[in-house]
Structure 1
Amino acid sequence: MLALLIPKTTVAADGVERAGSAIRLLIPATGAAMALVRHDDDGLGQLAASGAIAVGVTTGLKYAIPATRPDGDDHSFPSMHTAIAFSSAEFIRARYGWNYGIPAYVAATFVGYSRVVSDRHYTRDVLAGALIGIGSSALLTTPYKNVQVQAELSTHFTGTHIVYAW
């Protein structure tokens, strides 16, 4: 009976891995689409630059730190998929607000989960990739048009916030 579950688990993990790989590309594509729809050339540049930094730092660390993946492959640390996903999610959050950022972060978290459950990375690899991605966008991304309007619903407050950055 247990042997029947093993192929299902492998198939499920393969499906999760494929979904995570696709979502890893959809998050930056969504950020780019958001910038293009708004004619936000500065935002598009910030997305590209922060993504390039995340990829560069992650690639450098992958070759500098000899870490084997759970499946025995090389270059485990840090997770490139996660760095890209979280760089893009943080760009969306920092540029356009938490209303867009929360779904982007949920999607990026799934990407990290997919890398661990498919035995491509350890949790430490995913956390490091997430920190690199978030850090690269946090350094370079400014709010869109310096104003963000955000909805909030809590037990003590319901309303909106208007944030102005200068």
Structure 2
Amino acid sequence: MGKWSLRLICVFVILSIKCYSQDTEGGHEKWEYVLEDTGGVLQLALPITAGIMTLIHKDYRGTKKLAYSYATTLALTYSLKHITKKKRPEGRNLYDSFPSGHTSSAFSGASFIQRRYGWDYGIPAYILASLVAVSRTEAPDGFHDFWDVFAGAAIGIGSTYIFTKPYKKEQMALGFANYRDTYSLTFTYQF
């Protein structure tokens, strides 16, 4: 998936939200529900995209680094939810607001894409992750406040930076070939 693919996804998401910006019953506009649903999808789409990118690049070390960073993100997020027991701002009696799990998941995927494969991929990924954060505060129910999504983003980015280094292709290659009674050994080094 190239940088243009991620940019097209950003444009599509923004246009689809704009298309549904009509009033509905209950004082909420349709775009608010679309925004909420979009955030729900992107929270998983970004880490899955990061995993697919590791497979496309045949970057199996990156796959392992993504697994470590994403597992750390989830462990920290749900541990803090259990420890802090902050009440959700929308009024329900749920005490699992801090930090935002959707946001930490999205920023874990986005920061992995940026850290491993560069800013050409990272900028669109961060835009989509930011859309998830906005969806958690501005959707009809307003599941989180600024500090919840800020902490989720910090956890996602921080855990990625602990485990992930920029991707470098193999610089050396050793090859062997035989044809009839001729054998050859090749050694290639890229600068």
What TM-score, normalized to structure 1? Answer: 0.82
1:31 maps to 2:50: yes
Match of 2:173 in 1: none
Measure the CA separation in 1 of the matches of 2:29 and 2:84.
29
1:97 maps to 2:118: yes
**Partner letter of residue 155 of structure 2?**
I
Structure showing greater Rg: 2
1:70 Cα offset (Å): 1.5
Q: Which runs of 4+ in 1 moved over 4 A?
A: none
Task: For structure 1, list consecutive stretches of 5 or more residues without a partner in the other structure.
Answer: 148-166
Match of 2:153 in 1: 130
Match of 1:62 in 2: 81
Per-residue deviation, residues 128-152 of structure 1 (Å, max 9, x unmatched):
00000000001100111179xxxxx
Measure the CA separation in 1 of the matches of 2:88 and 2:30.
19
Measure the CA separation in 2 of the matches of 1:145 and 1:124.
35
Aligned ranges for residues 50-89 of structure 1 at < 5 Å? Answer: 50-71=69-90, 72=92, 73-89=94-110
1:8 Cα offset (Å): 5.8
Aligned residues: CA RMSD: 1.7
State percent identity of aligned pairs: 41
Q: How many residues align?
A: 144
**Partner letter of residue 127 of structure 2?**
V
Q: Which has the higher contact order (CA 8 A, sep 6+)?
A: 1
Per-residue deviation, residues 17-53 of structure 1 (Å, max 9, x unmatched):
1110101111111111110011110111111110000
1:43 maps to 2:66: no
What TM-score, normalized to structure 2? Answer: 0.71
1:15 Cα offset (Å): 1.7
Match of 1:12 in 2: 31
